[in-house]
Amino acid sequence: MKNNIKINFYATGVAFLIVIALSSVAHAADGANKAANVWDILGQVSLMQWLAYAILTIIGSVIGVISFVFFFLKREKILYRNLKRPIMVIEPTNSKGDKIPGTSMEIEKQMLKDNGFLNVSKEVSSYQTFDPNTNHCLVVVGYHEEMAGLDKIISKAEQKGIPIIVYTYGANIDVIAKNDFNKLKESPWVLYANFKITLLNSIFSTLATFPYYKQKNKKES
């Protein structure tokens, strides 16, 4: 009888241990499944973040490219329109209309004509014949201390909203009389050039960036 009780007791204990082991295994499996689900969720979140980042990067790049293209086309449009308009080159003359010795700009004029892109006006050569209209886009003024008519040139150019490039050359490089300089600095659209290459560079820079049409419309309104 006692032996049967011991056997039943041992059997019950073993069964209890087996139940505990199985329960532990089940809990472990359930925990593993939960952990796997958590990692899956984290993986999905990470993937979504990367997708969002990639989409935003692509959209930003496209916007940047489009903005650059519009900026480039806008400048090219301004340059194209201004290149068709005449450029006036005014040589310095005295009050009698006579050319000042040593101030010929034939080399500069020929350089601009040989460029092939610029439309150099043949009608204007002195301040007496300077009468700009809305078709002109740029004035190159050959400067000399003894020249006459600078006031008229500045006034007429400002009335039409036309930029002026003051060109000091020959023996007068970078030489501008104080009273003339004071007049020039009051004008909002005056540039300076002192060599042929800087003259050419200033012309193209102005034609490519100066919003001629906006200034024209503003003055007409």
Mean pLDDT for the chain overall: 75
- If asked whether residues 55 and 146 sit together in one domain, one would say no
Residues 152 and 191 in one domain: yes
Same domain, residue pair 96 and 145:
yes
Question: At which residue do the structure tokens 């892109």 appear?
Answer: 117
Q: Tell me: do 91 and 173 sit in the same domain.
A: yes
111 closest CA partner among 78, 81, 140: 140
Domain end call among 45, 76, 107: 76
**Residues 119, 63 share a domain:** no
Give mean pLDDT, residues 174-193. Answer: 88
Same domain for 61 and 91, yes or no, is no
Same domain, 151 and 180: yes
**Residue 4 above 90 pLDDT?**
no
Classify 3 as helix, strand or coil: helix
- Helix (H/G/I), strand (E/B), else coil: 27: helix
What's the rounded Cα separation, in Å, for the pair 126 and 130? 6
List pLDDT tens digits, range 104-141. 898 998 999 898 888 888 766 777 878 777 667 789 99
Task: State yes or no: pLDDT of 39 exceeds 90.
Answer: no
Question: Would you say residue 173 has pLDDT above 80?
Answer: yes
Q: Are residues 43 and 122 in the same domain?
A: no
One domain, residues 170 and 210: yes
**Which residues, in sequence order, are bridge partners of residue 90?**
141
**Residue 62 shares a structural domain with residue 126:** no
Q: Is 14 exposed, middle or buried (0-12, 13-18, 19+ CB in 10 A)?
A: exposed
Q: Are residue 137 and residue 181 in the same domain, yes or no? A: yes
Last residue of a domain, one of 23, 58, 76: 76
Domain that holds residue 104: 84-220
Question: Count of residues for the chain?
Answer: 221
Same domain, 93 and 46: no
Query: How many whole angstroms separate alpha carbon 177 and alpha carbon 98?
Result: 20
Cα angle value 97/156/159 (rounded, 5°): 175
Q: Which pairs with CB-CB distance under 8 Å and at least 24 residues apart come from 25-29?
A: none
Residues sharing a CB contact under 8 Å with residue 214, sequence separation 6 or more, in sequence order: none
Domain boundary among 41, 76, 111: 76
CATH number, residue 112? 3.40.50.2300
pLDDT of residue 50: 73
If you search the block for the tokens 């293209």, which residue do you land on? 69
Q: 89: closest CA among 208, 213, 179, 203? A: 203
The model's pTM is 0.63
User: What is the tally of structural domains in the chain?
Assistant: 2
